[in-house]
Structure 1
């Protein structure tokens, strides 16, 4: 029996009517659009490589154990692969509005936790795929590997023949409860058994001791960052509806800025995102001296041996986006300094250690704790900024070239805005997700991100 990890179970339990916890994407292709039947046949032929896509979640009574993955004996691919179209002229705004409505809708938790929409009618003969996958099933980095399920490196790739699938018998509720109780007892014991090795490493002055010193040494800096003032209008209750917009940048212009300023591509991207939030807050008259927008930046902890594994192996660091700073180069320098400090202090590794401590929690407390944490009012974080690297070579589906990919990252708790970032070929794309009522001006943020790149390119070219 395949049981969810503690982190995956947390994402599953967080979901409620206002917090759909799926990630998603909009993939835009050159035309002409394939038939709906061809798309269904493609999925039917490829699903054998991702068995989880035919499994549903089985929660245990009273949450005596973490939820299980079991085969869906009633799996019907036509439920998960759907078909729609946008009205003429099929402009970007119409596609974004459609995607926003679809992303706001929860997945059916009684079925396999994914769905795909074939969208026809885009201007220029283009078409799109809108995909949704629950966060408990996959994280962004694993999603890059799973693109091979749908996309191919060759334009003329043959369509494989579908393989007949027979669901396995589901375990009884009694078996699940017994196994859940056993897991609740043995998991803490398993983790505690690792403590002697940890103690030995501590005594030998190993990397754990080095990490402890780094954390203690960084406490004053961390406290100072957390003490910085944050805006009030980016936090608050969220409703069931979403606004979703996008922005674009070229990798060449980002590299041109980096050649002058140093740092990384990600530093430049975060600096442009900072400009976007600065414009948004200025338009709201909510910008103050010394103010920051604090972002959680997920970091993949997946080793090379784990690529393609369907689970969540992510950690996170906190970064202050210096929105009150008017100088674009000073904003970039501040972000670069923080990111260098975070890498040096190994806080990302520390965050992963803290995340893994959730394996000690009883599943019932995990369920309650996950929901409570996401509903508790707080001003610590204002956004999540997720940057997922993609392939640098063209991809195809059914012989049609993929031209653009835009990501969708969920919002939860009191964070009303998230920023997903994806790279493909020589383009960087941003998918900005926002609460419909709390952030009606989200387009200002998207336009500000684009203006941030223009500003950095102009400034560094002089």
Structure 2
């Protein structure tokens, strides 16, 4: 999966995840930020490594130490124009997120942003998706931030890059990997089969993934809002909205379901507003979203890689009643939890280990470029820390996530929780979704609508 995220990158599809972190002031000096990151480099070795690809992709790309690593290239300094409000910060972040990372260097950037109103400052972070998934990104953030205000920084240690392997060494290892890895995974099949309680479980996984289970089949055949799909260009619009965790819990307590069910219902309202403003809302319509699911075990939170699967959920945008929308989403999520679709998708993800790396590269690119109307968006929800975090003694106020768009999906929604706040970072193609703010405002009004229902006296 890491290799797939690397292979699909092109001039219109920068495959990095990101975030905007807003802090209380005053802003630290650029030199202090440089020293902070230097002191933490030993904890994130990937930050001093780059990717090397093999000729003709005879093996998977490999991580190698960057002989020319320079911290000043990766930690940068800028400012927003006056008055330094949210609009100026969002516009700056949208431009920076649209710019590709240099694939010949370690795949991350940090921007120190000054000039925010109310004595605030920000960090804009970009990390390539081949390096981390959402949960690993949260762990990384907690490595670079502190749970206490008065933490002394460790002294930076001397670092000597390991010798980069020769091209011949990489080709030989790549060929060996291409031959040995499929054999190793084939040998593991009997153990996997024995771990299933019966042969029918394997059939259940296949049915869930292929859509032959009744609930999944209905989700795949429902009329989707195809107008949300289309070609994407190199530029991005990025906006945000937010909700309080307390109000989400109040809705959940009054209406049932889970926090995730409530969040998806509010997002449904946002898409309903967007389609209605475009004059494209019709009866029976849905917006089909991919919802990534972490497959990371409790003991795997220190690994910087991708351990994700996904499920498909239909957002019932044509439904007028918010409680009906919530009920429909809750029914789907309950069905998915029991159908093993996520487990089945993880099995298919691991099946990539059987493919020769050349085919993996071609397959990844082809899958992300093939025009499709099946999925309209991605909504990814990552729970963050419930305790205050600090950077150089300054308290972190807000975090807004960025998730890339690809293929013909013009909109993605990243969801992150910190303290008692849930934030939504909405990424959209600049030309294809000029009305993305309608979606953001609609998500917020979706929570307000549910709050009104929750506060209404029972009949």
Instruction: Compute the TM-score of the two structures, normalised by the length of structure 2.
Output: 0.97
**Residue matched to 2:365:** 371
In 1, Cα distance between equivalents of 2:247 and 2:193:
49
Matching residue of 1:72:
66
SS, match of residue 354 in structure 1: helix
- C-alpha offsets along residues 178-233 of structure 1, whole Å, 9 cap, x if unaligned? 00000000010001101222344458569657756877996222111111111232
SS in 2 for 1:183: helix
Matched, 1:305 2:295: no
1:233 counterpart = 2:227: yes
CA deviation string 1:228-278 (max 9, x = no partner) = 111232100000000000001000000000001111101000000000000
CA distance in 1 between counterparts of 2:350 and 2:115 reads 46
User: Given that residues 208 and 216 in structure 2 are in contact (C-alpha distance below 8 angstroms), is that contact kept between their aligned partners in structure 1?
Assistant: no
How far off is 1:146 after superposition? 1.1
Q: Is the 8 A contact 1:23 1:409 kept in 2?
A: yes
* Deviations, residues 312-371 of structure 1 (Å, cap 9, x unaligned): 000000000000001111101100000000001111111101111111111111111111
In the alignment, is the contact (CA less than 8 A) between 2:211 and 2:220 conserved in 1?
Answer: no
1:176: which partner in 2?
170
Mapped pair 1:330 → 2:301? no
Distance 2:207 2:85 in 1: 54
Q: 1:11-64 CA deviation, whole Å, 9 max, x = no partner?
A: 000000000000000000000000000000000001110101100000001100
> Which residue of structure 1 lines up, in the alignment, with residue 396 of structure 2?
402
Cα pair 1:201 1:208 within 8 Å, conserved: no
Q: Which moved more, 1:369-378 or 1:414-423?
A: 369-378
After superposing the two structures, state which structure 1 stretch, 139-148 or 433-442, moved more.
Answer: 139-148
**In 2 relative to 1, CA 291–399 (structure 1 residues): closer, same or farther, beyond 3 Å?**
same
Structure 1: which 5+ runs fail to align? Answer: 1-6
User: RMSD of the TM alignment (CA)?
Assistant: 1.5
Q: Does the 8 Å CA contact 1:410/1:433 hold for their aligned counterparts? A: yes
Among 343, 347, 353, the alignment partner of 1:359 is: 353
1:134-145 equivalent positions in 2, closer than 5 A: 134-145=128-139
1:96 aligned onto 2:90: yes
SS for the counterpart of 2:227 is coil
Of residues 77, 81, 84, the one that matches 1:87 is 81
Q: Which structure 2 segments of 5+ residues have no match?
A: none
| Mapped pair 1:14 → 2:4 | no
Question: Does residue 451 of the first structure (1) align with residue 441 of the second (2)?
Answer: no
Cα distance, 1:148 vs. partner? 2.4
Question: Could you tell me whether the CA contact under 8 Å between 1:215 and 1:345 is conserved in 2?
Answer: no
Determine whether 1:427 maps to 2:421: yes
Q: How far is 1:305 from its partner?
A: 1.4
SS of residue paired to 1:117: strand
Match of 1:192 in 2: 186
Give the 3-state SS of the residue equivalent to 1:124 in structure 2: coil
Pick from 55, 60, 80 the counterpart of residue 54 of structure 2. 60
Cα distance in 1 for residues equivalent to 2:32 and 2:211:
58
State the alpha-carbon separation in 2 of the partners of residues 226 and 197 from structure 1. 32
For residues 211 and 114 of structure 2, what CA distance do their matches in structure 1 show? 56
- Cα displacement (A) at 1:69: 0.1
The aligned residue for residue 125 of structure 1 is: 119
Q: Distance in 2 between the 1:455 and 1:323 partners?
A: 14
Match of 1:223 in 2: 217
Q: Which residue of 2 aligns with 1:257?
A: 251
1:461 paired residue number: 455
CA distance in 1, matches of 2:262, 2:11: 36
Of the structure 1 ranges 213-222 and 435-444, higher mean CA displacement relative to structure 2 is found in 213-222
- Tell me how far apart the structure 1 counterparts of residues 382 and 372 of structure 2 sit (CA, whole Å): 27
From 224, 244, 247, the equivalent of 2:241 is: 247
Q: Is the 8 A contact 2:211 2:217 kept in 1?
A: no
The CA deviation at 1:149 is: 2.4
Residue aligned with 1:407, SS: strand
Change (3 A) 1:307 1:287: same
1:4 counterpart residue number: none
How has the CA–CA distance of structure 1 residues 210 and 394 changed in structure 2, closer, same or farther, with 3 Å as cutoff? same
C-alpha distance in 1, partners of 2:98/2:120? 24
Secondary structure at 1:294 match in 2:
strand
Structure 2 Cα separation of the partners of residues 215 and 69 of structure 1: 32
Question: SS where residue 395 of structure 2 aligns?
Answer: strand
TM-score by length of 1: 0.96
Name 2:27's counterpart in structure 1: 33
